[in-house]
Structure 1
């Protein structure tokens, strides 16, 4: 091989190596910034508003498929093994299509989850939410309903149900009566579309009704009054994966 060829080969090698180094350095810098942001999120306590922003930002990552999968490592597992400091509490439906940590792109120790069919406020659910807010200092509670909810559908249709399944429907029925002309629609269903519309309206009405029930808690309202807690309602779209605030 001539000296000229050696020189060209060496120059090409250095050029390729330089590009590779730049890409690696850029990736490392990006990782470092993400890690720094994650550390800041963990260290700085969330206010009610920043907690909501953080929750919705995670949902947007999920919708856009720009997932970070934070707090899902073995290290995180050990970090929260003896104490928990969730930044948000969710009262959501037990539906298998509504897994909170996934749709909000979060991980271990981030959310205090209370899941029950129809996202209804029972005595036990309320106690769990009060525990999260008062004992763990969680600054945000979201009541999260979802599109085509089976429990809401059962309440709208009013059909007999076996066992204790009817208890969920009964807990949702008061929300349906708050809808304008709900009774007329229930008694005079003209087609499947009208019933489908009523169900979707009832999903939102149920979220709003359950939020109102939380406002009867003196403990939660005291924290709200002190600016330490925010209570919101949300609706999850099964088709798009997006969460919209409804209260």
Structure 2
């Protein structure tokens, strides 16, 4: 079973029009988020300066991961006052398209807190139509400056795709989405699983970049999309590509 990839119907103008209309009524509802953006309330919820650039946002992620690796976590933005602050609205600085693997929780491995990250998780960190739509919302409406596709060492979904595992239910749709990356990397020297994991990360980055909404933000220098590879043994995240 293949994951469908229909043409995205929302144009950038259309999504902006949607956002403006929602703000005009005082409330913007995020379809895939449990939070409501109260547009009339202007709480200072950005984790860093308001004019953060995509490069600075990426560095903030990498710095947080460095603290995690060195066991020097600050555990920022995890107080009751922060909870009350972000209840009024959210302004995450980064989005993560990560694997659903329980060993790679984004807020922990990047040493971030409430309201800092807009996270989408799915086995194999694949960019489905729905994931792309969520990340478009996170960047265009919420203002995320960087999207990281976060894959990891020894990914079970990628391993199953390599082995051509026969699986029940909808699990096969995940493997089908990963299979092209397996084929692309199979002639590379070295560890086949690691090569396929990295190739899959890069494939999802390119799929996100093909979104008209996200590509417009990249051209305007308001967004950066990168890949990240998580080492399960050390906790270290390295930029891929």
TM-aligned CA deviation for residue 234 of structure 1: 0.4
In 2, the alpha carbon distance for the partners of 1:223 and 1:61 equals 30
Cα distance, 1:225–1:161 mapped onto 2, change above 3 Å: same
* Unaligned residue ranges in structure 2 (runs of 5+): 1-44
Listed one character per residue, the Cα deviations across residues 16-56 of structure 1 (whole Å, up to 9, x for unaligned) are xxxxxxxxxxxxxxxxxxxxxxx995343321000000000
2:186 maps to 1:198: no
Q: Which has the larger radius of gyration?
A: 1
TM-score by length of 1: 0.77
Q: Which residue of 2 aligns with 1:89?
A: 95
2:64 maps to 1:58: yes
Alpha-carbon contact 2:94-2:118 (below 8 Å) kept: yes
TM-aligned CA deviation for residue 180 of structure 1: 5.1
2:237 maps to 1:240: no
Runs of 4+ in 1 over 2 A off after TM superposition: 39-45
TM-aligned CA deviation for residue 163 of structure 1: 1.0
- Could you say what secondary structure the match of 1:221 adopts? helix
- Could you say what secondary structure the match of 1:161 adopts? coil
* RMSD between superposed Cα atoms in Å: 1.6
- Could you say what secondary structure the match of 1:142 adopts? strand
Cα distance, 1:72–1:199 mapped onto 2, change above 3 Å: same
Listed one character per residue, the Cα deviations across residues 114-137 of structure 1 (whole Å, up to 9, x for unaligned) are 000000010100000000011111
